[in-house]
Amino acid sequence: MLESVLITIATAATPLLIAAVGELVVERSGVLNLGVEGMMIMGAITGFAVAIVTGSAWIGVLGAILVGAAFALLFGFLTLSLVTNQVATGLALTLFGLGLSGMIGEGFVGRPGVKLGQVDIPFLSDLPHVGRLLFGQDPLFYVSLLLTAGVAYFLFSTRAGLTLRAVGDNHDSAHAQGINVVAVRYLAVMFGGACAGLAGAYLSLVYTPQWVENMTAGRGWIALALVVFASWRPWRVLAGAYLFGGVTIGQLHAQALGVAIPSQLLSALPYLATIAVLVIISRNRRLTMMNTPASLGRPFVPER
Amino acid sequence: MRIELVKRPQQSALFSILSPFLALALTLAAGAVMFFLLGKNPVTALYYFFVDPLLEVWSLHELAVKAAPLILIAVGLSVCFLSKNWNIGAEGQFIIGAVAGSILPVVFPGLQSWIVLPLMLLMGIAGGAAYAAIPAVLKARFNTNEILTSLMLVYVAQLFLDWLVRGPWRNPEGFNFPETRNFHAYAVLPEILPASGRAHWGFVFAMVAALVLWFVLSRTLKGFEVKVIGQSPRAGRFAGFSSGRMVIFAFLVSGALAGLAGISEVSGAIGQLRPSISPGYGFTAIIVAFLGRLNPLGIIAAGLVLALSYLGGEAAQISIGVSDKVARAFQGMLLFFVLACDTLIHYRIRLVRTARMDAKGAQAGHA
Amino acid sequence: MPTTLENRASALLEVRGLTKLFGTLKACDGIDLTIGRGEIHALLGENGAGKSTFVKMLFGALEPAAGTIRWKGEEVSITSPGEARRLGIGMVFQHFSLFDALTAAENIMLSLDDSAPPGAVAARARELSQAYGLPLDPHAHVGDLSVGERQRIEIIRTLLQNPDLVILDEPTSVLTPQEADRLFKTLETLKAEGRSILYISHRLEEVKRICDKATVLRQGRVVAHCDPGQETAASLARMMVGDEVQPVVREKPGPAGETLLEVRGLSRKAAHPFAVTLHDISLAVQAGEVLGIAGVAGNGQSEFFEAVSGEVLQERADTVRIRGRDAGRLDISGRRLMGAAFVPEERLGHAAAPAMTLSQNLLLSRYRTDARAFLSRFGFIRTPALAAAARRIVAAMDVRKSGEDPEANALSGGNLQKFVIGRELDRAPMVMVVNQPTWGVDAGAAARIRQALIDLAKAGSAVLVISQDLDELFEICDAIAVMHHGRLSAPMPIAQATYEKVGLLMGGAAPEAASEPVLEAV
């Protein structure tokens, strides 16, 4: 019982984790992309549609990643090359993604999807209590953990990661040092988009293998909140994602058990929890200021 | 080949007028391509989308019905966005305004008097403002990111409405449909010209709100304060303006107007509460606000354009069989083009051929 | 870049006709300059003369529109700072190009082109810092360091690349006189090693002292090549400015008037991680007096300005008193209504909103004090009255602008500064508090602003000037106090103040030590 609850928590947490780790890299480079929700829903529909058309969930995943990155490229072109307002452009990306996915998805409503198979490591997955949790989950679960570890290593132990953090801290200094600020940010933004696309594919190929309009239901926004909650640190994103996974699954179980609380209130819990967590974390202005990448959201026009 | 932006010494007056039109033109062009890809004749499709709805009087009334909430919400948002308060939860404030305003006709249907309607409007305004006050207070007091909190509250408001109409407020004579009882005659916002169509007084409210806010923003000290704090918070503090109070002010104004839009929509266009009372007006109004360049007069025009895209979506579905979801994709695309074209107000755009430096490498093509 | 015997004898750097345009403005117009090996070459010019633009082109940070650069005898095209470093050109920026959130070692690593492991970089940095007498902690976060320490990181970062030419952009503007002396020693060492230095400054005395050659720029053009040792400070100034700058006239201080501005025991906790805590600051400025506050940047001046101006309120009302009345609980508008006026350090974004017009920026600081003139009922703005007042200020301060009512953005630094000072003077305030009145301003504008402040005091107002520029303070003040680490020294009457005494206090020496004869401090 406990093991199966933990597994469902992992399923709820994984898309949040993937999207949030991607956005973390974007924000560490000094760019605020509020379009996570839009890229995620585009990932969801692309993954679903491509999987149905090709019959392969993996090709669906690949398609979702590419579409997420392509959407991010659009965002990058506007905010980095045309220096548009990042907040407004991110909103545009979300609105466009929600609209376009609804349009594309119309023919796919109600069709059975393709589910991404589970990893099943012989013997290990049969271990009592932890076998299925650790060795018998869907492949993207492992990808999400590797992604977190990889991003943590990249940011704090590689030269390229140092460059990325420098760009996010002070783009004028970075430019003066000869770092190509815009190029670094393009790469970061596209990485974030690829992650958001992947997270979307997780929803439509693993979490609930079907297409429902607006099926991301604010997860892209929660991922954005997680980055703030985690003070821009990868392992804390992981902790936060599992906390939210826990809240989501907890309320689903409560609904299933028929707790005498309106189901709508339970459904609202993840959103209310997000607000609560944001309030708690941002109360400490000092800490927020220390952790926030100093160039976050600021426009940059290179002088040549 | 790369793009180089050259800062203009002053904002370009020409492009600040031209840019919304340029964005519309680009959106139409992109829309034509989209229809072509969908296998439709672009000309016919665009005709049904953007011209056909304007040809009949009843249809113009529908345009006003759809434009009213968009304009009301967007002029409120212009105060927020000009002061750099990112209220993106207008959809939630719209819903809570509608709910608060519906208390009288739904809970006290026996109260039948001319006073009901004004009270409903006031309660709607108060409800929207109160709901907007939550992210505002959290931002002013705890420095909490208002983008995320205001958005989260949209989902909460939608769930709250859903609970109400399925639970305590469900119509006892409604065969278990998830909707409230129909509003009685005293609770219905009258139509402006009942003989010719459905347009209700919400559209008048929108015009009045836009004119008043245009005046406040362009002619008064308060408007100056809004703009100074938005453009340069430190200069605002030097002036003696409080950015904390501005957060509250901006959110209350936009929440109140979104609430008014909500109750006007429910009382004027729908006549009862249902699980879903808005086709995303609160979000589309963000596009309206930017297309109107955050100027209330511009927002009137922009609101009509976006309302047309809703109508066009419905019309095109019937006449040429494309999904009405196309309208949403159109709207999102429009915002992209608006933002991109606004770049021209502040910068000249040059296309530079080579990245290598040589003496005359900078071949310029002005845009 | 191979070096052959023939060109080793020739100049290290030869620049011919270097030109840079910003829009229609010729920031650099056909600049010629030659630097020999082991030479300290001064680049002189006023703010806005094109010095920074010129060196940014040498460092590959800006792209020239025309002209040639010959390096060690061969024509080169310097496309990026990385390219400049590979050639052997290093640069120490005026507004340091450092990353606050990173450590000193990480900052250094970022400018090295090979990816040496962090440990090795730290060790090499420590080695160099000892060799050149520039103490440095590689693991400190740059955000926590003083300006002087930051400059050391920049210099060490540059030296790690073993450059043949080091460019220093206004290096002493952020240092105490004693710190500057130490920097000059480091420069002498570098010269002795055969390295060349391009030294940008507008401080003529130090240029005369350490530089072998000088090139003078004015409005983007070379106006002279000379030997600074053969020139006087006055002749160099004439070359820079083009004509005589009116000397500032100051009379002997009169008898002390009544106290118009008083600060009593002002303490303030740092509001954010990189802010300075203020400790128990007290001062009094009398009618007719100009009091100066000297100090190296980042020692609490901005925090003090915010507290005195009322941008931040005090806990107790009597901590700040204006014209004999408590003002500590009043906001900036309340203090303005009591007759005080304030000019902060940043022109764009603090004193003025960049994208607003001059008349709108006039309203910014005067909508309360001049409500009757500029506003009618219900807060409607009286645009014609504002425009007239803006014209009056523009005329009084000789603000040069294009267009009738341009955006603040569109003005040069000096002209905008004249406007924001004039905006307050136009009210004839009884108390005037100015932070960095002439920072980054050309000589003509600076003289005009300084004279205006003196005249204001002469007319019976109290003037408090916060500045990093000691020359300026000695020119206009009746007394100077020094701010260091959020504490303020007792004011020294100008007759007793010397550069050395003030400099020692700026470096953190105890007040007693400053009056002793001192050897090498710190």
Each residue of C80-119: pLDDT tens digit?
888 999 999 999 987 778 998 898 888 988 887 666 777 7
**Is residue A74 situated within a structural domain?**
yes
The answer to whether residue B167 neighbours chain C at the CB level (below 8 Å) is no
The reply to whether residue A163 touches residue C106, judged by beta carbons under 8 angstroms, is no
The reply to whether residue A84 touches residue B343, judged by beta carbons under 8 angstroms, is yes
Give the pLDDT confidence of B132-170 residue by residue, as tens digits.
Answer: 999 999 999 999 999 999 999 999 999 999 999 999 999
> Could you give the angle at the alpha carbon of B26 between the alpha carbons of B24 and B31, nearest 5°?
95
Gap from A178 CA to chain C (nearest CA, Å): 5
**Is residue B117 situated within a structural domain?**
yes
Give the pLDDT confidence of C325-357 residue by residue, as tens digits.
Answer: 999 999 999 999 999 999 999 999 999 999 999
Q: How confident is the model at residue B48 (pLDDT cuts 50, 70, 90)?
A: confident
**Which chain A residues are closer than 8 Å to B157 by Cβ?**
none
Between CA C424 and CA C432 the distance in angstroms is: 8
Burial classification of residue B190, based on how many CB atoms lie within 10 Å of its CB (0-12 exposed, 13-18 middle, 19 or more buried) = exposed
Residues C224 and C264 grouped into a single domain? no
CATH of the domain at A72: 1.10.3470
Structural domain containing residue C368: 259-515
**Which chain A residues are closer than 8 Å to B325 by Cβ?**
99, 102-103, 106
B neighbour chains, 3+ CB pairs within 8 Å: A, C
Mean pLDDT by 10 residues, chain A (304 residues): 81 95 97 96 96 93 97 96 93 93 89 80 71 77 95 94 95 90 97 97 92 92 94 94 91 83 90 93 82 91 80
Cβ-contact B86, B80 below 8 angstroms: yes
Return the residue of C nearest to B11 by Cα. Answer: C355
Structural domain containing residue A73: 2-291
**Is residue C392 situated within a structural domain?**
yes
Output the pLDDT for position C115. Answer: 67
Task: Tell me what the mean pLDDT of segment C139-156 comes to.
Answer: 86
Nearest Cα to A161, choosing from C98, C160, C115, C154?
Answer: C115
Q: How confident is the model at residue B299 (pLDDT cuts 50, 70, 90)?
A: very high
**Which chain B residues are closer than 8 Å to A98 by Cβ?**
328, 332
The answer to whether residue B360 neighbours chain C at the CB level (below 8 Å) is yes
For chain A, the domain total comes to 1
Between CA C508 and CA A191 the distance in angstroms is: 49
Give the pLDDT confidence of C216-274 residue by residue, as tens digits.
Answer: 998 889 999 999 989 888 888 888 888 766 777 777 766 778 999 999 999 999 887 77
**Is residue A221 situated within a structural domain?**
yes
Between CA B172 and CA A92 the distance in angstroms is: 42
CATH of the domain at C9: 3.40.50.300
For chain C, the domain total comes to 2
CB-nearest partner of B357 from C79, C333, C351: C79
Q: In what order do the strands lie in the sheet with C25-35?
A: C25-35, C13-22, C66-71, C74-76
The answer to whether residue A84 neighbours chain B at the CB level (below 8 Å) is yes
**Is residue A141 situated within a structural domain?**
yes
C neighbour chains, 3+ CB pairs within 8 Å: A, B
The answer to whether residue A83 neighbours chain B at the CB level (below 8 Å) is yes
Output the pLDDT for position C21. Answer: 87
**Is residue A93 situated within a structural domain?**
yes
Burial classification of residue C349, based on how many CB atoms lie within 10 Å of its CB (0-12 exposed, 13-18 middle, 19 or more buried) = middle
Other C-beta atoms within 10 Å of C242: how many?
13
**Is residue A198 situated within a structural domain?**
yes
Other C-beta atoms within 10 Å of B20: how many?
24
Gap from C53 CA to chain A (nearest CA, Å): 10
Output the pLDDT for position A115. Answer: 84
The answer to whether residue A109 neighbours chain B at the CB level (below 8 Å) is no
Output the pLDDT for position C516. Answer: 46
Residues C337 and C193 grouped into a single domain? no
Output the pLDDT for position C521. Answer: 39
Which of helix, strand or coil describes residue B274? Answer: coil
The reply to whether residue B343 touches residue A34, judged by beta carbons under 8 angstroms, is no
**Is residue B103 situated within a structural domain?**
yes
**Is residue C470 situated within a structural domain?**
yes
**Is residue C521 situated within a structural domain?**
no
**Is residue C300 situated within a structural domain?**
yes
Q: Which of C241, C269, C303 is the last residue of a domain?
A: C241
Give all strands (DSSP E) within C95-177, no chain letters. 165-169
Mode of pairing for the β-strands spanning C40-45 and C25-35:
unpaired
Task: Indicate the average pLDDT of chain B.
Answer: 91
Amino acid, res. A133: L
Question: Does the pLDDT of residue B366 top 60, yes or no?
Answer: no
Between CA A234 and CA A21 the distance in angstroms is: 6
Q: Which of C194, C211, C241 is the last residue of a domain?
A: C241
Amino acid, res. C13: L
Nearest Cα to B211, choosing from B292, B296, B104?
Answer: B296
**Which chain A residues are closer than 8 Å to C97 by Cβ?**
170, 172-174, 176-177
Residues C287 and C412 grouped into a single domain? yes
Give the pLDDT confidence of B236-270 residue by residue, as tens digits.
Answer: 999 999 999 999 999 999 999 999 999 999 999 99
**Is residue A300 situated within a structural domain?**
no
Structure token digits, residue C293: 């506050």
Q: Which of A36, A75, A103, A109 to mutate to test the interface with B (most CBs of B within 10 A)?
A: A103
Output the pLDDT for position C7. Answer: 43
Between CA A26 and CA C453 the distance in angstroms is: 49
**Is residue A296 situated within a structural domain?**
no
Give the pLDDT confidence of C189-209 residue by residue, as tens digits.
Answer: 999 999 999 999 878 888 899
The reply to whether residue A228 touches residue B145, judged by beta carbons under 8 angstroms, is yes
Other C-beta atoms within 10 Å of C9: how many?
10
Output the pLDDT for position A114. Answer: 84
**Which chain B residues are closer than 8 Å to C79 by Cβ?**
356-357
Residues C451 and C347 grouped into a single domain? yes
Burial classification of residue B135, based on how many CB atoms lie within 10 Å of its CB (0-12 exposed, 13-18 middle, 19 or more buried) = buried
The answer to whether residue B186 neighbours chain C at the CB level (below 8 Å) is no
**Which chain B residues are closer than 8 Å to A276 by Cβ?**
none
Question: Does the pLDDT of residue C1 top 60, yes or no?
Answer: no
Which of helix, strand or coil describes residue A134? Answer: helix
Structural domain containing residue B157: 66-293
For chain B, the domain total comes to 1
Task: Indicate the average pLDDT of chain C.
Answer: 88
CB-nearest partner of B343 from A82, A98, A99: A82
Mode of pairing for the β-strands spanning C66-71 and C74-76:
antiparallel
* Region of poorest pLDDT, from A196-205, B209-218, C309-318, C503-512: C503-512
Distances in whole angstroms, Cα of residue C254 to Cα of each of B140, B143, B227, C309, C478: 49, 50, 45, 27, 10
Chain C residues in contact with chain A using a Cβ-Cβ cutoff of 8 Å: 60-63, 80-85, 93, 96-102, 106, 109-111, 115, 272-273
Q: In what order do the strands lie in the sheet with C221-226?
A: C89-92, C165-169, C196-201, C40-45, C213-218, C221-226
More confident residue, C277 or A6: C277
Nearest Cα to B92, choosing from B136, B142, B62, B143?
Answer: B136
Residues C28 and C143 grouped into a single domain? yes
Q: How confident is the model at residue B356 (pLDDT cuts 50, 70, 90)?
A: very low
**Is residue B37 situated within a structural domain?**
no
Mode of pairing for the β-strands spanning C196-201 and C165-169:
parallel
Chain A residues in contact with chain C using a Cβ-Cβ cutoff of 8 Å: 159, 162-163, 165-166, 169-170, 172-179, 285-286, 289-290, 293-294, 303-304
Residues C76 and C102 grouped into a single domain? yes
Q: What is the DSSP string of B299-367?
A: HHHHHHHHHHHHHHHHHHHHHH---THHHHHHHHHHHHHHHHHHHHHHEEEEEES-SS--TT-----B-
Q: Which of C241, C273, C301 is the last residue of a domain?
A: C241
The answer to whether residue B240 neighbours chain C at the CB level (below 8 Å) is yes
